[in-house]
Structure 1
Amino acid sequence: MTVPILTARELTKSYGRGPDRFDALKGVSLDIEPGESVAIVGKSGSGKSTLMHLLALLDTPGSGTITVDGTAARSLNGRKLNGLRNEMFGFVFQQFFLNPAASVLENVVLPLKIAGVGARERRRRGMEVLEQLQMADKARNKAANLSGGQKQRVVIARALVNKPRVLFADEPTGNLDTATGRIVEDILFDLNQNHGITLIVVTHDHELAERFQRRLYIRDGLLITTDEEHAA
């Protein structure tokens, strides 16, 4: 029996105090298996992005536990937690967060530079993922000169350069037109199906969600685990 790559138990997260307190998550539990594709679906304010940030170790829960490939996140100090996150996870967000004045390659290899990887190895690995995403011919271009779809490919390349086992994406096609968004979706599913990367995507797009192996519906900070319950 395989160990889940991600396990959450009774996660809660609140913001504010007193009358201004907002309970974003109210006790969410789930398991995600290696190689799964999972959509976290919900309306704005439902808690779906909060859940993703907790699972990705970008934030800490008010209570509850998160286990990554058998390692309890709460058992790790700051440096080890950062190391686990950087080794295991890649991130693709709706906002591109690219340095517009830097080249495509410079943007892609930034995680490797932060990790202290040498210049030659950074370039090799950066060009490898750009080739994979058919963007190698844009390596010297400034990020500011790219189309929206090209920018999103660069973001995906940056997410892949550390060879993550889990790829998180938050509304990855939200800023793209329908045709370009479909291309980006196909890239993400190829990474899941043909490269074994666990894919976790936050979306309010039910058409996109239907492409996933599993859908987790969030409503008012609570998890509805099945499509049947969601439809009820």
Structure 2
Amino acid sequence: MTAPFLSVTDVRKSYGRGSNRFDALRGVSLDIHQGESVAIIGKSGSGKSTLMHLLALLDQPTDGTIALEGVDTRSLRGRALNRTRNKTFGFVFQQFFLTANTSVLENVVLPMKIAGIGRGERKRRGMAALEQLELADKARNKALNLSGGQKQRTVIARALVNNPRVIFADEPTGNLDSATGAVVEDILFDLNREHGITLIIVTHDEELAARCDRRIHIRDGLIISNEALAA
């Protein structure tokens, strides 16, 4: 088997000090390979969202190491960290995080704007992503005028514009009805299987987790199971 894309070794994350200290992760180790689909499941407060934030380099562990393609991510600082995060990862969140009064296209191209990509290239790639998600006709619409499913597809388009190798999805269907949620799920798994994008999903939804290649169950800051699911 190839070397892991992400490798987590004895990672711990604590908040506060003394009597107010809370140990969100208490020694987590796991490997994730390029092209996998992985579900991280657990109850609220289990540590699953904390783990996702650490994997996505949005936060740093209190102790332990996270390696990205064999490179200890503690060596990444400032612009190098931001560039790595922006180029490597795409994010799909339950809350959408769209700017309501700007256009769908403007929302989609934001990661490229942050990356310093020129206006013409931003528009070209943004429209290509919207075409892929069947939203090109909504490009000029304000985000506030979209349905829930359209908003989530816009978020997926935004996640794709920098050609990420990993998409993190935090409860991606949590705000959607079951039919719309099923469409969004299909889009994410198509991206995983047809384009080789690694998919890491944080969810309470056992049915969604069962669609992944692997399910990692966290309880009280510890991994209690890490199982490959039958194809």
* Residue aligning to 1:154: 154
**Alignment-mate amino acid for residue 95 of structure 1:** Q
Structure 1, unaligned runs of 5 or more = none
CA distance in 1, matches of 2:227, 2:62: 28
CA distance in 2, matches of 1:66, 1:89: 15
After TM superposition, the runs of 4+ consecutive aligned structure 1 residues lying more than 4 A away are none
The alignment-based identity, stated in percent, is 72
* Residue aligning to 1:135: 135
* Residue aligning to 2:25: 25
CA distance in 2, matches of 1:134, 1:224: 40
Q: Is the 8 A contact 2:148 2:175 kept in 1?
A: yes
Where 2:129 maps in the other structure, the secondary structure is: helix
CA distance in 1, matches of 2:67, 2:100: 36
* Residue aligning to 2:9: 9
Number of aligned residue pairs: 228
Report matched runs for 1:178-193 at 5 Å: 178-193=178-193
Where 1:116 maps in the other structure, the secondary structure is: coil
Aligned-residue offset at 1:51: 0.2
Within the alignment, does 1:54 sit opposite 2:54 as a pair? Answer: yes
CA distance in 2, matches of 1:120, 1:78: 27
**Alignment-mate amino acid for residue 50 of structure 1:** T
Report matched runs for 1:76-87 at 5 Å: 76-87=76-87
Q: What TM-score do the two structures reach when normalised by structure 1? A: 0.96
Within the alignment, does 1:144 sit opposite 2:144 as a pair? Answer: yes
Q: Is the 8 A contact 2:48 2:202 kept in 1?
A: yes
Instruction: Identify the range of structure 1 (210-219 vs 64-73) with the bigger mean alpha-carbon deviation.
Output: 64-73
**Alignment-mate amino acid for residue 66 of structure 2:** I
Within the alignment, does 1:223 sit opposite 2:229 as a pair? Answer: no
Aligned-residue offset at 1:48: 0.2
CA distance in 1, matches of 2:192, 2:227: 22
